[in-house]
Chains A and B, each alone.
Chain A
Amino acid sequence: MLQPPPAKYGGRHTVTLIPGDGIGPELLSHVREVFRFSCVPVDFEVVNVNSALETEDDINNAITAIRRNGVALKGNIETKHTMPSSVKSRNNLLRTSLDLYANVMHCQSLPGVQTRHKNIDIMIIRENTEGEYSSLEHESVSGVVESLKIITRSNSLRIAEYAFQLAREKGRRRVTAVHKANIMKLGDGLFLQCCREVASGYPDITFDSMIVDNTTMQLVSKPHQFDVMVMPNLYGNVVSNVCAGLVGGPGLVPGANYGRDYAVFETATRNTGKSIAGRNIANPTAMLLASCMMLDHLKLYDYATVIRNAVLTTMNETRLHTADLGGQGTTSDVVQSIMKIIQSKGQLTADF
């Protein structure tokens, strides 16, 4: 699995921070606040990406910074479709340039959150670089647009291998491949075949497959049948959003993008949250949990555990729930509560 970069300069790590748009900047500033308070040995190199510009200089700077540091924490960069179609999604460019081929999302029901289904625990592994997100489109004849979905054997094998390795590592029993191979016989057929090949090397793990439309139907009625799921890019988008909705919404679930050499952490559903930006009502949980995933990746396990426990304990306080959970708490209330809990653990902390 991916090795984190070693700590430099007296045991401190440098992490690239991309604030992004919408709620990104405010959530990430709260992460920095919590890290500072908890004396986490991480320094952030902030790289801003202006989504209003057509040139790719900003995103290229960000990519270079991530290559340098090896790890990043980011908010979502808005994609304005008023721009010409040659201006590609910045987030997508980042993922493909750094070959962050595995998007991992662990959907778990949180005890303090009311949802229709309880005790959900699903890991979603989504191929993150190809499929429908290849950004290869052309207008062959006026009024007729072709968009290419690319599936390759090597990427499919790679993501399947990642899924089974992770399943084994975490002691999970079953991997389900999600596909639409009855219609896309060659493309999804290849993906499915690769999953089967990899599965044969893991006899201790059960492998099955399910068609994507049936999968969504099953998720909303019987989500407990799922354990680990692996799928191509677009279905991953759909399934991860459905699962995030099932456990309580976009404010709760962290996501990670892993490549061979780099790791980038963000919220799982990658929302910009323009309509709630700057109003102190966004839920900081997802971003804070993502930052804990990052700390785990940097092998700073103790710090990760302390912050994560504080976040989850705060989640139990219904009166602190933010608007997305049906409450009236503010972002700062939640963050203050988290920091109080961290302080009460008796760890060495900075002045309040």
Chain B
Amino acid sequence: RSTAARSTADSIMNGLKPEPTCFFEQMQTVTLIPGDGIGPEISAAVVKIFESAKAPIRWEERNVTAIKGPGGKWMIPPDAKESMDRSKIGLKGPLKTPIAAGHPSMNLLLRKTFDLYANVRPCVSIEGYKTPYTDVDLVTIRENTEGEYSGIEHVIVDGVVQSIKLITENASRRIAEYAFEYARNNQRSSVTAVHKANIMRMSDGLFLRKCREVAENYKDIKFTEMYLDTVCLNMVQDPTQFDVLVMPNLYGDILSDLCAGLIGGLGVTPSGNIGANGVAIFESVHGTAPDIAGLDLANPTALLLSAVMMLRHMGLHEYASRIQTACFDTIRDKKVLTKDLGGNSKCSEFTSEICHRVQDLA
């Protein structure tokens, strides 16, 4: 673990009072899960930037490697669960996918433990990181618990496999409600339900009906429906026509990655998972990049932007804007960029640059 993360986390753990930042703002606890590979170094970068911004966040670092609980069922360590239940907010770096470890992926465990039903990805074009698509500003909201990822598959007879896609009224209503609430809270003007109800009449039809019902309670937000294929077709020609998109699991998986591709990939895309009981875990969605781990080459942008999303979720908009501006300005100026962004600076240099800007913007 890098020194930066250790110092902040440990000082709190050792009972030292963290430096009071502002008399009017209470420190809020956030469970920090650094993750694997480049996870620890990018988490340290985020902590450092937050320190420079004097954000009222107290980090509680936890590990979520699965352990076998009583009864032989895999679960996340109890201290991690306890911390999340208490703080309600988490920031997570990339977790490595276990192969032949005997336990399911940690992401799946987290999702089930905290009932993380909504995956939210705002995709905004980053000025200074050029892609063929400019002015992208949309949000994909994906139902994350059911749909095509129910994991229910059977071999009917040899050579015939059936995979079950599950759509329920409750999950559909819940995600639709979240989408409209999000739109209202973030001043977005329209919500589009993405579906294939022409082919999957009952399942996507149910999803669509629930969206329509919820839309009735949000007359201030425009509601439209569009076929998945039409969305794909239009998205690659003119992404500016989209605002908030809500959809079942598989379409959400595909579309959110498609949109990430438009703005520059998973290295610059933030993501948040909203759970029942007010829990929210924000995360970077890229991999652990084991080939560059520990070499101070990683790009912390994705995790940083997810942390910014987290600040907005917590109502700390001023800090969010400052940190985001500092990050975007650094990228736009192109003087200090990590390798994947086209430069050859180190992670620590990139981080320091953002820290300076954040302080200047105060």
- Docked complex: B173-211 residues within 8 A CB-CB of A: 196-206, 208
Q: Is B260 an interface residue (CB 8 A)?
A: yes
Q: Please, which residues of chain B bring their CB within 8 A of the CB of A246?
A: 236
Q: Nearest Cβ in chain B — how far from A32, in angstroms?
A: 27
Stretch among B148-156, B274-282, B344-352 lining the A interface: B148-156
B313 at interface by CB-CB < 8 Å:
no
Select one of B151, B154, B201 contacting A137, CB under 8 A: B201
B163 within 8 A of A: yes
Chain B 257-281 residues near chain A, CB threshold 8 A: 257-258, 260-262, 264-266
Evaluate whether A89 and B199 lie within 8 angstroms (CB atoms) in the complex, with A132-B165, A148-B163, A152-B161 already known: yes
A-B contact pairs, 9 of them (CB 8 A): A132-B200, A137-B200, A150-B160, A151-B160, A186-B154, A186-B161, A217-B265, A220-B258, A238-B228
Is B229 interfacial (CB 8 A cutoff)? yes
Interface of A is mostly: mixed
Q: Mark A218-239, 1 if CB is under 8 A from B, else 0.
A: 1111000000000000110110
- Does A85 have its Cβ within 8 Å of any Cβ on chain B? yes
Give how many A residues have a beta carbon under 8 Å from the other chain's beta carbons: 57
With contact pairs A183-B149, A241-B229, A242-B233 given, residues A139 and B257 touching in the complex (Cβ less than 8 Å) = no
Which residue in A89, A137, A145, A186 is a CB contact (below 8 Å) of B155?
A186
Q: Within 8 Å CB of A238, what residues of B? A: 228-229, 232, 254
For the complex of A and B, 4 pairs with smallest distance between CB atoms:
A217-B261, A153-B159, A245-B236, A143-B169
Q: Which residues of B contact A8 (CB under 8 A)?
A: none
B113 interfacial contact with A, CB 8 Å: no
When distances are taken between beta carbons in the complex, the residues of chain A under 8 Å from B149 are: 183
Q: Are B165 and A241 in contact (CB under 8 A)?
A: no
**Within 8 Å CB of B237, what residues of A?**
245, 249
Q: Report yes or no: B163 in contact with A242, Cβ–Cβ below 8 A.
A: no
Given known contacts A81-B198, A271-B230, A146 and B166 CB-to-CB distance under 8 angstroms: yes
A85 to chain B, nearest CB (A): 4
Indicate if the CB atoms of A214 and B257 lie closer than 8 Å.
yes
B261 contacts A220, CB within 8 Å?
yes
Q: Is A190 an interface residue (CB 8 A)?
A: yes
A220 near B262: Cβ-Cβ < 8 Å: yes
Cα distance A269–B236 in the bound complex, in angstroms: 14
Once bound together, how far apart are the Cα atoms of A79 and B199, in whole Å?
9
Residue of B199, B205, B234 with highest tally of chain A CB at under 10 A: B199
A30 within 8 A of B: no
Q: What's the least CB distance linking B205 to chain A, in Å?
A: 6
Minimum Cβ distance to chain B for residue A293 (Å) = 20
User: Is B253's beta carbon under 8 Å from chain A?
Assistant: yes
Q: How far is the CB of A171 from chain B (nearest CB, A)?
A: 27
Note all chain B residues with C-beta closer than 8 A to A183. Answer: 148-149, 151
Nearest A residue to B264 by beta-carbon distance? A221
Distance between Cα atoms of A46 and B217 in the complex (Å): 47
Closest to B149 in A: A183
Contact of B229 among A92, A116, A216, A237 (CB under 8 A): A237
Closest CB in chain A relative to B333 CB, distance in Å: 23
Q: Which of B158, B170, B232, B260 contacts A245 (CB 8 A)?
A: B232
Q: Which of B155, B165, B236, B258 contacts A147, CB < 8 Å?
A: B165
Let me know if A147 and B233 touch, CB within 8 A. Answer: no
Decide yes or no whether B47 CB sits under 8 A from chain A.
no
Q: Is A259 an interface residue (CB 8 A)?
A: no
A148→B165 CA distance, assembly (Å): 6
A-B contacts counted at CB < 8 A amount to: 169
Given contacts A132-B199, A148-B164, contact A217 B257 (CB under 8 A): yes
Chain B residues closer than 8 Å to A187, beta-carbon distance: 153, 161-163
Is B132 part of the contact surface with A, judged by Cβ < 8 Å?
Answer: yes
A249 B233 Cβ-Cβ under 8 A? yes
Q: B229 and A269: CB pair below 8 A?
A: yes
Question: B197 to A81, Cβ gap below 8 A?
Answer: yes
C-alpha spacing A212/B253, complex, angstroms: 9
User: Could you tell me the distance between the alpha carbons of A132 and B254 in the complex, rounded to whole angstroms?
Assistant: 15
Q: Tell me the minimal C-beta distance from A207 to chain B in angstroms.
A: 21
Taking a contact as CB atoms under 8 Å apart, the answer to whether A213 and B253 are in contact is: yes
- Determine if B74 is an interface residue (Cβ-Cβ < 8 Å): no
B235 on the A face (CB < 8 A): yes
Q: In the complex, which residues of chain B have a beta carbon less than 8 angstroms from the beta carbon of A186?
A: 153-155, 161, 163
| Residue interface bits A175-191, CB-to-B below 8 A is 1, else 0 | 00000100111110010
Q: Which of A66-117 contact B (CB under 8 A)?
A: 79, 81, 85, 88-89, 92, 116-117
Which listed residue (A117, A147, A249) contacts B202, Cβ 8 A?
A147
Q: Which residues of A contact B28 (CB under 8 A)?
A: none
Closest Cβ of chain A: how far from B142's Cβ, in Å?
11
A270-318, CB < 8 A from B: 270-271
Q: From residue B225, how far is it (CB to closest CB) to chain A in Å?
A: 9
CB of A122 within 8 A of chain B? no
- The distance from the CB of B201 to the nearest CB of chain A, in whole angstroms, is 4
Complex CA distance for A147 and B164, rounded to whole angstroms: 6
Check: A244 CB closer than 8 A to any chain B CB: yes
Flag whether B131 is at the interface (Cβ < 8 A).
yes
Cβ contacts under 8 Å, A154 to chain B: 159
Contact residues in B for A271 (Cβ distance below 8 Å): 230
- B230's contact among A89, A139, A241, by CB below 8 Å, is which? A241
Q: How far is the CB of B95 from chain A (nearest CB, A)?
A: 15
Given A81-B201, A85-B201, CB of A217 within 8 Å of CB of B260: yes
Residues of B close to A37: CB separation below 8 A: none
Q: Tell me the smallest distance from the CB of A327 to a CB of chain B, in Å.
A: 15
- Indicate whether B126 reaches chain A with its CB closer than 8 angstroms: no
Per the bound structure, the CA–CA distance linking A156 and B199 in Å amounts to: 20
Residues of A within 8 A of B170 (CB): 143
Whole-angstrom CA separation of A148 from B258 in the bound complex: 25
**A348, CB-defined interface residue at 8 Å:** no
- A281 CA to B159 CA in the complex, in Å? 48
Q: A180–B254 Cα gap in the complex (Å)?
A: 10
Q: Is the CB of A147 within 8 A of B203?
A: yes
Chain A residues near B328: list those with CB within 8 A.
none
Complex Cα distance, B162 from A186, in Å, reads: 8
A79-B198, A147-B165, A153-B160 known; A220+B133 contact, CB < 8 A: yes
Q: Are A144 and B168 in contact (CB under 8 A)?
A: yes
| A145 x B260 contact (CB < 8 A) | no
CA–CA, A244 and B232, complex, Å: 9
